[in-house]
Structure 1
Amino acid sequence: MAAPITLHLEFGGGAELLFEGVKDHQVTLPSQSQPWDMKQLLVWIRANMLKERPELFVQGDTVRPGILVLINDADWELMGELTYELQDRDTVVFISTLHGG
């Protein structure tokens, strides 16, 4: 059984507006039989944190195009994207690069 893990989640570039305007969140993911990965984190965020308009953050089982994801300051594309296994005290940053006009 994998132990619970604590993460620092940050939302910026307008993405924080989907989370009641709060940019920084400390969250603890419950223990489960297999290690947490980014795909499961996105499901958890949608179920537990997103208050409105989830389609502006997630699309299918990943983030919407236009949302940059950093894991410990590295582009998640270098980390395996959805398959990255989260570690205790990881920092995951979601930055919207889409701007209205």
Structure 2
Amino acid sequence: MAESSQQHIDIHVEFSGGAELLFDKVKEHEVKLSHDNNPWTIRKLLVWIKENLLKERPELFVQEDTVRPGILILVNDADWELVGELEYEIQNKDRIIFISTLHGG
């Protein structure tokens, strides 16, 4: 694969199923990730999301270095378990969706 000369990776990040409440009720984000020599993975993206998008109660979104149980992640409409989970290398124009399957009552 040829090395890209672009300066950033553009991705679409979406939160739903109640997860958006932790992000100031904003469901969709167009994100530019700075392009460096280290590939962007879901693991690295989770840290970036926690530092840049998450507005409250991080314990409801992340647990140690992954998402907490009950949060489903889709990468381009495929379950992240099928693409490598935390080690998936994010590509330009990827669509990454975080869906909370836990609902308070």
What is the TM-score when the length of structure 2 is the normalising length? 0.92
Q: Does 1:55 pair with 2:59?
A: yes
Residue in 2 aligned with 1:82?
86
Report the count of equivalent residues.
101
> What is the 5 A alignment of 1:1-101?
3-101=7-105
Contiguous gaps of at least 5 residues in structure 1: none
* Alpha-carbon distance between aligned partners in 1 of 2:8 and 2:83, rounded to the nearest angstrom: 21
- 1:35 Cα deviation (Å)? 1.1
- 1:34 Cα deviation (Å)? 1.2
Q: Deviations over 1:42-78 (max 9, x none)?
A: 0000011111111100000000000000000000000
Q: Name which one, 1 or 2, has greater alpha-carbon Rg.
A: 2
Contiguous gaps of at least 5 residues in structure 2: none
CA RMSD, 1 decimal: 1.2
Percent identity (aligned): 64
